[in-house]
Structure 1
Amino acid sequence: MKAVSVVTIKKELKHRSTEELLELCLRLSKFKKENKELLTYLLFESHDEEGYIETVKVEIDEQFEAINTNSYFYIKKSVRKILRNIKKYARYSLKKETEVELLLHFCTKLKDFKPSMSKNATLLNIYDRQIALIKKIVSGLHEDLQYDYQVQLEDLEG
């Protein structure tokens, strides 16, 4: 079965009743964990973006603490998984400020992580790519926010 475009789905949803839309949403939430997570964000978290960011930061901290430090292989694997989760949570929010906050927190945690990332080229590359991404996103934000984030970026690069 081939999926139809978002425009087609939008047109079709306009013709459905509130009851039918509710049923469709509930059915959609049963299929994938990400669908349920997105609905949770939209229904319960989106009104308090600061609280959402803090919740995700706590989860990032817990994931960093759980990393198996026996070898760089396990560290790299775990760091990539944390980064995937951050990207997913940023996608739920669709706010660039949220993405920057989460990536800054990730970079801070990675920089302070022991054993040091400086001993592994892959981890250094991951770190450098995230710093570059943060700079790119920050350049499109409001001037006041740019300044605030620039100060944090300088701390990370220094």
Structure 2
Amino acid sequence: MKAATVAQIKKELQFKSQEEVTQLCLRLARFKKENKELLTYLLFESDSEEGYVQAVKEEVDTMFAEINVNSYFYIKKSVRKILRTLKKYARYSGDKATEVELLLYFCEKLKSFRPSIQRNTTLKNLYNRQLDYIEKKIPALHEDLQHDYSMILEELHVK
């Protein structure tokens, strides 16, 4: 089965009653965890972006605290998982400033992580790729945010 385009879905939803749309959303939420997470964000957390960012940061703190530091193999796996989760939450928000703020926070946590990422090439490269990505995203933000985030980014650059 080929999926319909967003435009086709939008057009079809206009012909549905509010009750039918509610039932479709609930059915959609049952199928995949990401669908449920996105609906949770849209219904409960989209009103307070600051609170959402703070909640995500707390979850990142918890995930960093749970990393198995016995081997760089486990550290790499955990760091990649944290980054995947962070990007997923940033995608839910859709706000570029939120994405940049969360990625800067991730980089700060990674830079201060012990054992140091400087002793592992893969982690260093992952860290530098995120800094480059943030650098490309900053010009799309408001001037004040650009300045603030650029200052933080300068502090994070490791050579």
TM (normalized to structure 2)? 0.98
Gaps of 5+ in 1: none
Could you tell me how far apart the structure 1 residues matched to 2:63 and 2:127 are? 17
Amino acid at match of 1:76: K
1:105-148 Cα deviation digits (max 9, x unpaired): 10000000000000000000000000001111101111111101
C-alpha distance in 2, partners of 1:139/1:25? 36
Structure 1 CA distance for aligned equivalents of residues 146 and 94 of structure 2: 18
Q: CA deviation at 1:42?
A: 0.2
Distance in 1 between the 2:115 and 2:39 partners?
A: 37
1:60-99 deviations in whole A, cap 9, x for unaligned? 0000000001100000000000000011001000000000
In structure 2, the partner of 1:119 is 119
Cα distance in 1 between the residues matched to 2:146 and 2:6: 33
Q: Which residue of 1 aligns with 2:8?
A: 8
SS of residue in 2 equivalent to 1:2: coil
User: Which consecutive segments of 4 or more residues in structure 1 shift more than 3 A?
Assistant: none
- Equivalent residue letter for 2:44: F
Determine the C-alpha separation between the residues in 2 that align with 1:94 and 1:26. Answer: 22
Count of matched residue pairs: 158
- Name 2:67's counterpart in structure 1: 67
Q: Which residue of 2 aligns with 1:136?
A: 136
Q: CA RMSD in A?
A: 0.7
Query: Where does the alignment leave 5 or more consecutive residues of structure 2 unmatched?
Result: none
Task: Look up the match of 1:17.
Answer: 17
2 CA distance for matches of 1:42 and 1:141? 22
> 1:83 matched to which residue of 2?
83
* Matched-pair identity in %: 65
Separation in structure 2 between the aligned mates of residue 25 and residue 129 of structure 1, nearest angstrom: 36
